[in-house]
Amino acid sequence: MKYFLLYIKQTLRFVLKPLSFVPAIIMMCLIFAFSGQDADESSQLSYEVGVKVLTIANETFDRGWSIKHIENLSLKSQHYIRKTAHFTEYFLLAVTVAFPLYVYGVRGLLLVFSAGTFCICYAFLDEYHQSFIAGRSPQNKDVLIDSCGVMVGVIVTRIVGWTGRMTIFRPLSNRKVKE
């Protein structure tokens, strides 16, 4: 029975470890799709997200705002919605890139450097991609915001990974128990 369970464990690791990169690939495709929207599509999406978030905030905090007021606030907050989206997209990309690297044993500064460099390079490529889209232009400020999201994502992944290794998954580690 012991060897059967060991076989199952090894087989699952062999199959599941490479699949841990799938969320990163999905996130990269999602970012590429958002960057491929022309200016009008992107503005409309930001507007709709703003209306949705402000409607939820209005209901949650019982502000009593009218629909017209919410739409007006959404129009005024477009800049902040877009920059928050940049930060959030690259935060999620960093987490989905750093976690598989962590699973494969990349730790410490090597994790920060490798995941961070990959994600920041992707941010530069994404801004370059935007230069080919009607009404969009590359901005260094966006790369800076993306980079901040990347660094926070990598640091959060390191903290969660370290905490999990020291608490929840400690009994599963490969360390030999003293008898």
Q: What is the pLDDT of residues 130-162, one digit of tens each?
A: 999 999 999 999 999 999 999 999 999 999 988
- Provide mean pLDDT across the span 6-30: 89
- pLDDT higher than 80, residue 173: no
pLDDT digits (tens, 9 = 90+) for 39-66: 999 999 999 999 999 999 999 999 999 9
Does residue 88 carry a pLDDT above 80?
yes
Q: Provide the pLDDT for residue 151.
A: 97
For residue 176, the model assigns a pLDDT of 53
Rounded to 10 deg, the angle between the 140-166 and 108-130 helix axes is 150
Q: Name the least confident of 14-23, 34-43, 78-87.
A: 14-23
pLDDT band at 177 (very low <50, low <70, confident <90, very high): very low
Q: Which long-range contacts (CB under 8 A, 24 or more apart) does 17-21 make?
A: 17/100, 17/103, 17/104, 20/99, 20/100, 20/103, 21/100
Give the per-residue pLDDT at 58: 95
Task: Provide the 10 A C-beta neighbour count for residue 123.
Answer: 23
**What pTM does this model have?**
0.85
